[in-house]
Structure 1
Amino acid sequence: MGTYNKGILGPFSGKVGTVVGASWRGKDILRSLPKKTDRTPTETQMLQRLKFTTVSEFLTPISNVITRYYGSGSGELTRRNQAMSYHMKEAVNYVDPNFVMVYNKVQISKGDLLGVQNPTVAVPGGDKITYSWVDNSGQGTAKPTDQLVVVIYAPTENLYYSLLNAAVRSDGTINLDMPTYFNGLQVQSWITFAAADGKSYATSVYMGAVTIG
């Protein structure tokens, strides 16, 4: 892959001959077309592709969180790519014949803001789920207005539920009314804090498995 400032007729996108022109992270780039091959992929290659697909399919429904709050927004790698790299290495295992996510290692955010202190989760009944935490506003850069971000996932039905501003740090607790189709399902969940302006955020906390209803 190469970058260029001016083509003969300025920047272009699409395929021309054996190269493809595109814009990526504010730069005009040229890429060569992939070579066709008749070779059958090895078992290792097939497993790597399956691993990539598993992680990608898990993260895609929460892209609204990942693309805001995962890692750094500068540098060569996008936030999405940083999240993919971490989860490919740390948060997926092979259980023949498939790869499965390791939920206690999943991160919905990764940053330097002071995180959630002493979090708990409970299901008081109905379609509700309750999160509680210690208000640690004033410690470091933590502010009362930091927003609680929540991601809830029901593996058996592949259902996701996310909120970017479920509560603020100073609330100390939140009772969420879940959609009725989550009733009776076991869910995994993760919570984190993000500054009100979105410029800083904490590394998320895994809250374990509970059953709604």
Structure 2
Amino acid sequence: MGTITKGILGGFSGKVGTVVGSSWNSISYMRSLADGYTDPKTEKQVCQRGRFAEVVRFLRTMVPYLRLGYKEHPAGQSAYSSAMSYVLKNAVEGCGADAAVDFQKAMISRGSLVVPGDASVEAAAGKLTFTWTDNSGNGNADADDVAMVLAYNKVKAEAVYDLEAGARADGTAELTLPGSWGDEALAVYLSFRSAQGKSVSNSLCLQDDEVASSPGDGSDGEDGADDDSGQGTFG
């Protein structure tokens, strides 16, 4: 019930029907009640929410990598937002609870720098060894281009990466994996950036393991990571 404070021409406080009266700094004002929030959860909404959640689960583990990998993102859009947009549109299958990232199609780096030739990766003794053919001089590829490597644990929803793993001319780089990962399914990526940091290459997915039939759930966490060091682990 509303209360008139200064007669019929004065302000009032409280609720009268769908109108609320109040005052601030001796100024009386009225506002209408907010409409009740409805969450119809249509089939389309459920589908999109599931797809969005899967992409966030993946990309939140590698924000520093994305800042470099999507350096050539459109003006007015952050690197993370640009990565989200690309993966949502091009690398997600299924809907709702059945949504899943297609790691072969997901790009964690996009740009105009030439990719290396004959790239591959091998896992042994708790580390990944990347190899590629040095194609310096091919287009805009330079010998001092910097290799960026990343491994994503599909079961734990964690990532480890090295943003300065070696030079294009080296033809090889290594990445140590956490001991707790064991033989869990990985998605492994390689990309390059110019030494001056002005251009980046598209990422290459060199390994895409199938998840076992009954995996453990990945842990939840805050969206994004602010570690700007050259190496990182996020889960």
TM-score range, shorter chain: 0.7 to 0.9
1:86 counterpart residue number: 86
User: When the two structures are superposed, what TM-score results if normalisation uses the length of structure 2?
Assistant: 0.69
The equivalent of 1:166 in structure 2 is 165
The amino acid that maps onto 1:64 is P
- Per the TM alignment, residue 73 of structure 1 is displaced from its structure 2 partner at its CA by 4.1
Q: Does the 8 Å contact 1:115/1:193 carry over to 2?
A: yes
Partner of 2:57: 57
Structure 1 partner of 2:40: 40
**2 CA distance for matches of 1:154 and 1:189?**
9
Task: Supply the distance in 2 between the matched residues of 1:176 and 1:204 (Cα, whole angstroms).
Answer: 16
1:110 match: 110
Q: 1:67 to 1:174 in 2, by over 3 A?
A: closer
Deviation, 1:182, is: 2.6
**Structure 2 residue identity aligned to 1:139:** N
- Hey, which bits of structure 1, 4+ residues long, moved more than 6 A? none
CA distance in 1, matches of 2:152, 2:163: 15
Q: Structure 1 residue 92: deviation in Å?
A: 0.8
Paired residues of 1:109 and 1:203 also in contact (CA < 8 A) = yes
Rounded to whole Å, the distance in 2 between the matches of 1:138 and 1:78 is: 31
Q: 1:67 to 1:158 in 2, by over 3 A?
A: same
In the alignment, what sits opposite 2:10?
A: none
| Letter in structure 2 aligned against 1:146 | D
Amino acid at match of 1:70: Y
Q: Deviation at 1:62? A: 0.8
Partner of 1:27: none
The structure-2 alpha-carbon separation of the partners of 1:133 and 1:39, relative to structure 1 and needing over 3 Å to count, comes to closer
8 Å Cα contact 2:66/2:79 also seen in 1: yes
Q: In structure 1, what is the Cα distance between the partners aligned to 2:116 and 2:92?
A: 24
Whether 2:165 is the aligned partner of 1:196: answer no
Query: Using the alignment, how far apart are the partners of 2:66 and 2:35 within structure 1?
Result: 32
Q: Which moved more, 1:53-62 or 1:107-116?
A: 53-62
Q: What is the distance in 1 between the residues matched to 2:95 and 2:47?
A: 11
**Distance change in 2, residues 1:141/1:111 (3 Å):** same
The answer for unaligned runs of 5 or more in structure 2 is: 1-33, 211-235
Moved more, 96-105 or 158-167: 96-105
Deviation at 1:155, TM superposition (A): 0.8
Counterparts of 2:187 and 2:112, CA distance in 1: 24
Q: CA deviation at 1:43?
A: 1.9
Deviation at 1:45, TM superposition (A): 1.2
Match of residue 120 from structure 1? 120
Paired residue for 1:101?
A: 101
Equivalent residues of 1:116, 1:205 under 8 A apart: no
Percent identical among aligned pairs is: 28
The TM-score, its normalising length taken from structure 1, stands at 0.75
Q: How many aligned residue pairs are there?
A: 177
Quick check: 1:185 aligned with 2:194? no
Gaps of 5+ in 1: 1-33
